[in-house]
A and B are shown apart, each in its own frame.
Chain A
Amino acid sequence: MAGRLGPLLAVAALAAVPPLLPKYVLEVLISVLFFGYLGACWNILGGYGGQFSFGHAAFFGIGAYTSTLLFLHLGVTPWLGMVAGGILAAAFGLFAGYLSFRYGLRGPYFSLVTLAFAEMLRVIAVNWKAVGSSLGLVVPNRGSAPVLFLFADKLPYYYVILVMALGALAITRMIERSRMGYALAAIRENEDAAEAAGVDALSTKLAAMALSSFLTALGGTFYAQYFAYIDPSLTFGPAISIGGLLPAIVGGAGTVAGPLLGSFVLTPISELTRAVLRGRAGADIMLYGLILILVISFLPNGLVGWFRSRRPAAGRAA
């Protein structure tokens, strides 16, 4: 079938169509790609490695705060700040990951400890005057300054997040087909057996953690630049952790396209609900909760898993 043509056409459409779209639709698309990107980052560790982080907001927040603070205090362009944030987040990811994995935390215990790490960072940010405490930080100077990651309208932001999302998918695909991808899958399926077969579980998990947290932090910088405002609960709060995990689960954890597909389904539903039920805050997240329950009950391998089970011949290509 259109094995190669399909994705190519989709990318072409995503690149060509947006200039023609009304502003509202463009904003929704940016949201779709943004959460798809976060999902893809989470997917590297959670989907492929089976390590369900509930605290990816920690890395997101580190990214958002690092680039914004570097910009506000030292005038460093967020393009560079983004990388600095990524490195800092990866370092934190290695630290948290080493502690968790070294002490043998698996399954739900790993989820809990990551949640705790993210919450600790949130509490610190709330209480730290130098980083704006609970008032948050404003990214000033709205106007066009591409060198400073500032654009006058939405379209450039769209292309930035499009490149980020496609880049994350490309990285995922590379990992899936590499030695690391097999090692991660083995750890996800059975960590003891993986070790017995010569997989260095600790190093493999740490590598996935570092990559996943680095990329997640880049998403934080994008958020700060796009919305021009960050605060502790927006960036370090559980909503961001769930916002990355959910599209991956719904689309198909441990598959390349799953997170983006999941976001293409979830995000418009959420936006639509919000638009229709104006003034009824929470209806969209309530729906998310329901969808999460339904997906796990009826499509435990997500949308991609469901497609595959309907076309059994098109499993993992050899």
Chain B
Amino acid sequence: MSAGHGLEISALTKRFGGLVAVSGFDLTVAPGEIVGLIGPNGAGKTTVFHLVAGFHLPSEGSIRFEGTSLVGLKPHAICRLGLARTFQLVQPFAGLTTLENVMVGAFNRSREVAEARRRAAEIVDFVGLGPRRDVPARHLTLPDRKRLEVARGLATEPRLLLLDEVMSGLNPTEIEAIIGLIRRIHARGVSLLIIEHVMRAILALSHRLVVMHHGEKIADGAPAVVARDPRVVEAYLGETTEAAPR
């Protein structure tokens, strides 16, 4: 398989003991694409991220990024291949400043401290955390922490960025700002795979929408089409949480 194919997941299955979290799941993200991954709570979306980023080992199936198999690679090795992720529950390095947090990511592409600091500073400004540059991460507000999470991933200079619910817990104004940020990240030439419950945002951003339910893919296509797919509507109607399409 030649390089330049982006992310290709096929027949991915993950079992935890007797529980099947992900089952025969296929997904592709082409270079330059923004793909939304949605589904009710517990559908297995975050598990897919863990599998792709190397935090879990798949039970079956293959995951390839630009032609390279990711199965069995450690998270840091996957990151160095150009595939970065954020965490659903933000995980800043609480004792380090905003800039230092981002520098940790920047060291992937430059061993020099001065160079890493310069790149990190640029990204801190890019995500709009410039004024909070030298504040310890533990003092950041939730929206700022979400930005920091994105900035740290971005600093590793990925070609594909996995965003896991970077909008949850934010108010509409803050969500609007993040949507703008994601568009600007995309404009830098980064493809994105986004897990999100905020339907308005995901419909606005995604080129393509993939829907998971009970660990399986139940729909894959243009957002407007998928959102009207009866199976998707049914999957969401089974749930009465905030996950329902709005």
Q: Are chains A and B touching in the complex at the 8 Å CB cutoff?
A: yes
Q: Which residues of A contact B (CB under 8 A)?
A: 177-179, 182-183, 185-186, 188-190, 192-202, 315-316, 318
A contact face: mostly helix, strand, loop, or mixed: helix
Contacting chain A: which of B23-31, B35-43, B108-116, B167-175?
B108-116
**A192→B55 CA distance, assembly (Å):** 8
What is the minimal beta-carbon distance from A194 to any residue of chain B, in angstroms?
7
Determine if B113 and A201 form an interchain contact, defined as CB atoms under 8 angstroms apart: no
Determine if A198 and B107 form an interchain contact, defined as CB atoms under 8 angstroms apart: yes
Determine if A196 and B85 form an interchain contact, defined as CB atoms under 8 angstroms apart: yes
**A51→B116 CA distance, assembly (Å):** 25
Q: Which residues of B contact A (CB under 8 A)?
A: 53-55, 74-77, 79-80, 84-85, 87, 91-97, 99-100, 103-105, 107-108, 111, 113, 116-117, 134, 152-153, 155-156
Determine if B79 and A179 form an interchain contact, defined as CB atoms under 8 angstroms apart: no
Chain A residues closer than 8 Å to B94, beta-carbon distance: 189-190
Given contacts A179-B116, A183-B107, A192-B91, contact A197 B96 (CB under 8 A): no
Given contacts A196-B87, A197-B104, A198-B107, contact A189 B93 (CB under 8 A): yes
Identify 9 residue pairs between A and B in the complex whose beta-carbon atoms are under 8 Å apart, listed by A's number. A182-B113, A193-B91, A194-B76, A196-B55, A197-B152, A197-B156, A198-B108, A200-B74, A315-B97
Determine if B104 and A182 form an interchain contact, defined as CB atoms under 8 angstroms apart: yes
Given contacts A193-B87, A196-B84, A198-B80, contact A185 B75 (CB under 8 A): no
B contact face: mostly helix, strand, loop, or mixed: mixed
Q: Which residue of A lies closest to B138 (CB)?
A: A189
Q: Which residue of B lies closest to A194 (CB)?
A: B104
What is the minimal beta-carbon distance from A283 to any residue of chain B, in angstroms?
36
Q: Which residue of A lies closest to B90 (CB)?
A: A193
Q: Which residue of B lies closest to A202 (CB)?
A: B74
Given contacts A196-B76, A197-B84, A198-B105, could you give 17 more A-B pairs where the C-beta distance is less than 8 Å?
Answer: A179-B113, A179-B116, A185-B104, A189-B93, A190-B93, A190-B94, A192-B87, A192-B91, A194-B93, A195-B54, A195-B75, A197-B76, A198-B76, A198-B104, A199-B107, A201-B76, A202-B74
**A194→B113 CA distance, assembly (Å):** 17
Chain B residues closer than 8 Å to A201, beta-carbon distance: 76
Chain B residues closer than 8 Å to A197, beta-carbon distance: 76, 79, 84, 104-105, 108, 152-153, 155-156
Indicate which residue in B79, B100, B103 contacts A196 across the interface (CB closer than 8 Å): B79
Determine if A186 and B55 form an interchain contact, defined as CB atoms under 8 angstroms apart: no
What is the minimal beta-carbon distance from B144 to any residue of chain A, in angstroms?
16
Chain B residues closer than 8 Å to A202, beta-carbon distance: 74
What is the minimal beta-carbon distance from B96 to any residue of chain A, in angstroms?
6
Determine if B55 and A182 form an interchain contact, defined as CB atoms under 8 angstroms apart: no
What is the minimal beta-carbon distance from A65 to any residue of chain B, in angstroms?
36
**A188→B94 CA distance, assembly (Å):** 10
Q: Which residue of B lies closest to A50 (CB)?
A: B95
Q: Which residue of A lies closest to B96 (CB)?
A: A185
Chain B residues closer than 8 Å to A177, beta-carbon distance: 113
Determine if A178 and B91 form an interchain contact, defined as CB atoms under 8 angstroms apart: no
What is the minimal beta-carbon distance from A311 to any residue of chain B, in angstroms?
15
Determine if A189 and B76 form an interchain contact, defined as CB atoms under 8 angstroms apart: no
Determine if A199 and B99 form an interchain contact, defined as CB atoms under 8 angstroms apart: no
Determine if B99 and A318 form an interchain contact, defined as CB atoms under 8 angstroms apart: yes
Leading 5 A-B pairs by shortest Cβ distance: A189-B93, A198-B79, A195-B75, A198-B108, A193-B91
What is the minimal beta-carbon distance from B236 to any residue of chain A, in angstroms?
30
Determine if B92 and A193 form an interchain contact, defined as CB atoms under 8 angstroms apart: yes
**A201→B77 CA distance, assembly (Å):** 11
What is the minimal beta-carbon distance from A119 to any residue of chain B, in angstroms?
32
Given contacts A182-B100, A318-B99, contact A198 B91 (CB under 8 A): no
Query: Which of B55, B76, B96, B116 has the most CB atoms of chain A within a 10 A radius of its CB?
Result: B76
Determine if B84 and A186 form an interchain contact, defined as CB atoms under 8 angstroms apart: no
Determine if B93 and A193 form an interchain contact, defined as CB atoms under 8 angstroms apart: yes
Determine if B76 and A195 form an interchain contact, defined as CB atoms under 8 angstroms apart: yes
Determine if A182 and B134 form an interchain contact, defined as CB atoms under 8 angstroms apart: no
Q: Which residue of A lies closest to B86 (CB)?
A: A196
Q: Which residue of A lies closest to B156 (CB)?
A: A198
